[in-house]
A and B are shown apart, each in its own frame.
Chain A
Amino acid sequence: MTKIEAIIQTSRFESVKDALKEAGIEGMTVTDVRGLGRQKGHTEVYRGREYSMDLLPRTKVELVVPDRLVDTAVEVILKSARTGKIGDGKIFLSKIDEVIRIRNEERGEGAL
């Protein structure tokens, strides 16, 4: 099993969610996050005063999928989250040893 963490533009989240659903991947955890990557912060000058935001808003989508679905999920996220501009985000993959469903203690892929 693999955990996919995708940091994406908030404006792309609905597209990513719909595309994942279409690909048969529905379980996910979503968090509003703030971050700083290659795209630095933003400064707006209003009436002679500077207003800066060092950390920009993004959405983090986390999902754990069976290894056979990793490539599909990544491809779907790449396609649906991409705008082509700097600041589109990143995808992180990591191996998951075990998953346990709290309700009935079921383990493994069946618990996903």
Chain B
Amino acid sequence: MKNAARAPCDFRSAPFLLRAVTPAPPLEALRSVCDAGRESIRGDFEARGDSLAALAARSALADRTLDSLAAVLFSTGPSRPAEFSLVAIGGYGRGALFPCSDLDVLLLFADARAAEAASAPGAALVRALWDLGWRAAVTSRLLEECDRFEQDNPEFTISLLDSRFVTGDPALAASLLRKILPALVSREQTAIVRALGEMTRERHAKHGNTLFHLEPNLKDAPGGLRDFDVACWATAVHELSRHRDRAAPESGWAALLGEAAGAAYRFIAAARVFLHFHNGRDDNRLTYDLQEEASARGIGSPGGSPQPVADWMRSYFRHARAISRLAKRALDEAPTRPTLYNAFEDWRARLSNSDFSVHRNRAYCRRPAALEDPAFLLSLYEFIARHGIEPALDTESSVERVLASPGYAPAWPGDPAAAGVSLRRILTLPGAGVSLRAMHRVGLLDAVLPEFRSVDSLVLRDLYHRYTVDEHTLLAIEALHALRHSAAEPHRRFAEILAEVEQPDLLYLSLLLHDVGKGMPGDEHVSASVEAAARATRRLGLTPYERDLVAFLIRNHLEMSLTVQRRDIFDPEVVRVFSELVGTPERLKMLCLLTYADIRSVNPEALTPFKAEMLWQLYAAAANYLSRSVDGARIAGGASSDRELIEVVRGSSALASLAKPLAAFLDGFPRRYLKLHAADEIAAHFEMAHRLEESLVAGEPHAAEAQLRERRGQYEITVIARDRPRLFAGLTGALTDWGMNILKADAFSNRSGLVLDTFVFDDLYGTLTLNPEERGRLLGDVEDVASGRSRHDQPPHRHRAPRGAGARSRSLLPTEIRVDNSCSATSTVLELVARDRPGLLHLVSELLADADCNIEAALIDTQGEKAIDVFYLWRRGKKLDDAEAESLRGALLHGLEQL
């Protein structure tokens, strides 16, 4: 507590000479009493572990000491009534004086004359208290001074909320406690509550806004004893402003909440008393060593029975959670007058809908009985995730009751796949962190995802992690969401690739599960996490492709970090090995983001700008490798290394018996093809190829196969045909004529001259969405072009006028074209980065065809307004020479200028 600036408030600085005129107290005798009393209290605590008794006994001992000292120093007695009052404030006022805490005392006077007369005895009182071993902090005030709320020292008014008369003039103290204080609190309730809220927010921010520290501060961290005080103070403000009296704070708390918080207070207070006795100073950090000792001694445990340290720490976190909830609730319910902030919170109330309402920035369920329906229960947390609003404690209590009911124990009663869909939606919403924490707090996350239970409040000790495993995981998810608002380097560039990830829900789900193995038996957590994730993703209804992707990310979640830290990432061989492990750009983006979030949530300083730069350099090098090495590694259908894969694809195909044709179909495709598509997709491609071959054998020279499907709001068309000149240009032209904006494309060919092209596009004009029957006509047009029945050779300028992305104002993005003859053995690699616009890909492919270039492979991508296209080209069976490459580059630059 701050001491007031007004003289003579700080008696420790009083003139030395004043000692001469002040009666000397019997210090030796008092010291014996104090020392013996303190030793006795310590002995009792160590024998019985009753922290509340220890705190009360220390407060009572301090009361007796003050009483004795005051009688001597101020010469009071029956013939000379006191003109002052000694009032215990702060923790001492609450009767909770911790062994090494300050003894906060208010020396109260009715007027300035009395204060002046007490100046010397007051100074002597402070000296005597220190001499007797008390860490005294004595503040003097006139009664009228206590009637002001000091904006720059709100702590003083807040400390008065705990004030308690000790000795001196009881009437003076009664004036403070019964008149001044209730009036002040009633008048300044808004300012006091706001100050309490601000002080709490600042204190929590110093501790990373989380209670899940591996070595927590028992007093100041969220969920610590100071939060319990905040709850008491907020309740006192409520009681004083409403009833002009201070009831016991517990009377203002909901029974269950108060009970849990009371138990939590006893546990954490016991741990703090233990810390103070052990350290001999006001050091409240529960270090690893002291966790071991406290758990071995059963500090705070019922009956003082020893516990394994992990269990004891879990108890600590459970209790800290209870206190944290109590403090939040008390601050929520504290009375305030209308303010601009209240107005903002009222505005948030407009987010209410027929199921859920928002009041004072908390989400309430309008139909608590409906929470028994698992789907409705999860929809509450979707609402919370969508708006980032904490659930109200009443609502949370209703959820807890539902989860404890027989219908919910021991297993999730709803459809696990439906829960999976809901969980994946929650993970991608902006308030996912708020929602997941709320779900975890009440046990709902564990109910939906029992694998996560293993890391609940799990402390794993190492030099780097600062938080429990579950908290680290939730922080990682929040770190990724925070990227969406990151405009500053080095985070911005990671934000760009996050925006490109096709299935961010799988990335978040992988993060949620990446460390669950840490709470499972075994020395190696990665394998355990992969196994647990496999169970979870199967139960939650993910497709085989999605399950593989999640398993890949979890299995390799340390790989990128290890490569950055222990390998020379500028060594091309290191980049090659890493890139081939990853396989595809999409996996690379997801692994990079998972690594970014994982490092960032280890501790606030873990992701240094240098480390972020290294991570990015590896990402960029690997991305370049993947786009420049497509034709380097090809499938050899007969090779033993590919047989296992062929068997997997066969298992997904209705043409299971056709092992040889399947091997022939895959023979010569880039290996990347296998990682881009799930086994069932490859099987479907094979079946298309099989039908095509049958048509050709049946004497139909103009045959092609095409397949259209809708995926996550976009369309994907797959075309299989015999290779021929201008095929790729024709296909892009057909799609562009239909008004489709091509976002991504892959073009691969196998050894027998079969071409497999995949285009992902936006239906800019809603043609297919509004007219489902047009899908067949589009497929027909594409098949006609693919088979050569019709040619698409209209020049690009005849296409529809650009709209949507292409209609935006011209950006300053310059066109970049790089031609590389070194990274492929058989092709010239052309990399083009340009402003995206409808018709761009068709124009480029027409110009390549005009230049007599055969497209061996193509990788087409867009990032916002930027198109990134990579082509593997050859002309007349050879790479382009330098002159041809330069001429092609010039033709492309000129052509793109005209578009």
Most chain B CB within a 10 A radius of its CB, from A11, A13, A87 = A11
A 1-28 contacts with B by CB, 8 A: 9-11, 13-14
A 33-74 contacts with B by CB, 8 A: 34, 42, 44-48, 51, 53, 56-57
- State whether A53 touches B613 (Cβ < 8 A): yes
A8 to B807 alpha-carbon distance, docked (Å):
53
**Does residue B816 face the partner (Cβ distance < 8 Å to A)?**
yes
Min CB distance, B8 to chain A, in Å? 46
Chain A residues with Cβ below 8 Å from B617 are 42, 44, 51, 53
The segment from B40-48, B444-452, B620-628, B690-698 found at the interface with A is B620-628
- State whether A10 touches B566 (Cβ < 8 A): yes
- State whether A46 touches B624 (Cβ < 8 A): yes
- State whether A44 touches B621 (Cβ < 8 A): yes
**Does residue B568 face the partner (Cβ distance < 8 Å to A)?**
yes
- State whether A9 touches B624 (Cβ < 8 A): no
Chain B residues with Cβ below 8 Å from A56 are 570
Chain B residues with Cβ below 8 Å from A48 are 814, 816, 833, 866, 868
Min CB distance, B624 to chain A, in Å? 7
A14 to B617 alpha-carbon distance, docked (Å):
23
Chain A residues with Cβ below 8 Å from B866 are 47-48
**Does residue B16 face the partner (Cβ distance < 8 Å to A)?**
no
Chain B residues with Cβ below 8 Å from A44 are 617, 620-621, 624
Min CB distance, A38 to chain B, in Å? 14
CB-CB nearest in chain A for B567: A11
Chain A residues with Cβ below 8 Å from B568 are 9-11, 83, 87
- State whether B565 touches A46 (Cβ < 8 A): no
A53 to B564 alpha-carbon distance, docked (Å):
14
Min CB distance, A90 to chain B, in Å? 16
- State whether A47 touches B833 (Cβ < 8 A): yes
Min CB distance, A73 to chain B, in Å? 23
**Does residue B349 face the partner (Cβ distance < 8 Å to A)?**
no
Q: A9-B568, A44-B624 are in contact. Are A51 and B616 (CB under 8 A)?
A: yes
Q: Which of A13, A34, A45, A47 contacts B863 (CB 8 A)?
A: A47
- State whether A46 touches B610 (Cβ < 8 A): no
- State whether A46 touches B816 (Cβ < 8 A): no
A86 to B716 alpha-carbon distance, docked (Å):
47
Most chain B CB within a 10 A radius of its CB, from A44, A51, A56 = A44
Number of interface residues, chain B, beta carbon within 8 A = 24
A45 to B565 alpha-carbon distance, docked (Å):
22
A48 to B624 alpha-carbon distance, docked (Å):
11
Min CB distance, A68 to chain B, in Å? 32
CB-CB nearest in chain B for A50: B620
- State whether B614 touches A46 (Cβ < 8 A): no
A48 to B863 alpha-carbon distance, docked (Å):
12
Chain B residues with Cβ below 8 Å from A53 are 613-614, 617
Q: A10-B565, A34-B610, A57-B614 are in contact. Are A51 and B570 (CB under 8 A)?
A: no
Min CB distance, A41 to chain B, in Å? 9
A10 to B833 alpha-carbon distance, docked (Å):
34
A83 to B617 alpha-carbon distance, docked (Å):
21
A78 to B616 alpha-carbon distance, docked (Å):
31
CB-CB nearest in chain B for A41: B570
A48 to B570 alpha-carbon distance, docked (Å):
19
A53 to B614 alpha-carbon distance, docked (Å):
9
A10 to B613 alpha-carbon distance, docked (Å):
16
CB-CB nearest in chain A for B815: A48
Q: Which of B566, B616, B818, B833 contacts A11 (CB 8 A)?
A: B566
A85 to B614 alpha-carbon distance, docked (Å):
20
Min CB distance, A54 to chain B, in Å? 10
Chain A residues with Cβ below 8 Å from B621 are 44
CB-CB nearest in chain A for B866: A47
Provide the B753-772 mask, 1 if CB < 8 A to any CB of A, else 0. 00000000000000000000
B 578-619 contacts with A by CB, 8 A: 610, 613-614, 616-617, 619
A13 to B868 alpha-carbon distance, docked (Å):
38
Provide the B547-572 mask, 1 if CB < 8 A to any CB of A, else 0. 00000000000000000011110110
- State whether A46 touches B623 (Cβ < 8 A): yes
Min CB distance, B20 to chain A, in Å? 48
A56 to B569 alpha-carbon distance, docked (Å):
10
A16 to B574 alpha-carbon distance, docked (Å):
19
A51 to B493 alpha-carbon distance, docked (Å):
11
A51 to B833 alpha-carbon distance, docked (Å):
16
- State whether A47 touches B616 (Cβ < 8 A): no
CB-CB nearest in chain A for B566: A11
Chain B residues with Cβ below 8 Å from A85 are 571
A53 to B574 alpha-carbon distance, docked (Å):
17
A51 to B816 alpha-carbon distance, docked (Å):
15
A34 to B613 alpha-carbon distance, docked (Å):
12
A107 to B624 alpha-carbon distance, docked (Å):
56
CB-CB nearest in chain B for A51: B620
- State whether A45 touches B566 (Cβ < 8 A): no
A45 to B294 alpha-carbon distance, docked (Å):
55
Chain B residues with Cβ below 8 Å from A11 are 566-568, 571, 574
- State whether B620 touches A46 (Cβ < 8 A): yes
A16 to B653 alpha-carbon distance, docked (Å):
52
A14 to B139 alpha-carbon distance, docked (Å):
60
CB-CB nearest in chain A for B817: A48
- State whether A14 touches B624 (Cβ < 8 A): no
CB-CB nearest in chain B for A39: B570
Chain B residues with Cβ below 8 Å from A42 are 570, 617
Chain A residues with Cβ below 8 Å from B833 are 47-48
A47 to B619 alpha-carbon distance, docked (Å):
12
Chain B residues with Cβ below 8 Å from A13 are 566
Min CB distance, B866 to chain A, in Å? 7
Provide the B809-839 mask, 1 if CB < 8 A to any CB of A, else 0. 0000010101000000000000001000000
Q: Which of B571, B610, B816, B863 contacts A57 (CB 8 A)?
A: B610
Chain A residues with Cβ below 8 Å from B814 are 48
CB-CB nearest in chain B for A46: B620
A51 to B619 alpha-carbon distance, docked (Å):
11
Chain B residues with Cβ below 8 Å from A47 are 833, 863, 866, 868
Chain B residues with Cβ below 8 Å from A83 are 568
Min CB distance, B304 to chain A, in Å? 37
Chain A residues with Cβ below 8 Å from B616 are 51
Min CB distance, A17 to chain B, in Å? 12
A83 to B567 alpha-carbon distance, docked (Å):
12
A34 to B568 alpha-carbon distance, docked (Å):
13
A23 to B574 alpha-carbon distance, docked (Å):
29
Min CB distance, B539 to chain A, in Å? 39
Min CB distance, A6 to chain B, in Å? 16
Most chain B CB within a 10 A radius of its CB, from A46, A83, A85 = A46
Min CB distance, A45 to chain B, in Å? 7
Min CB distance, A96 to chain B, in Å? 29
Min CB distance, B639 to chain A, in Å? 31
Chain A residues near B (Cβ < 8 Å) = 9-11, 13-14, 34, 42, 44-48, 51, 53, 56-57, 83, 85, 87
Can you spell out 10 A-B residue pairs with CB atoms less than 8 angstroms apart?
Answer: A11-B567, A11-B568, A14-B566, A44-B621, A48-B816, A51-B616, A51-B620, A56-B570, A83-B568, A85-B571
Pick the 5 closest A-B CB pairs, nearest first.
A48-B833, A46-B620, A48-B816, A44-B620, A11-B567
Q: A46-B623, A47-B863 are known contacts; what are 10 more A-B pairs with Cβ within 8 Å?
A: A9-B568, A11-B571, A44-B620, A45-B818, A46-B619, A46-B624, A47-B866, A48-B816, A51-B616, A51-B617
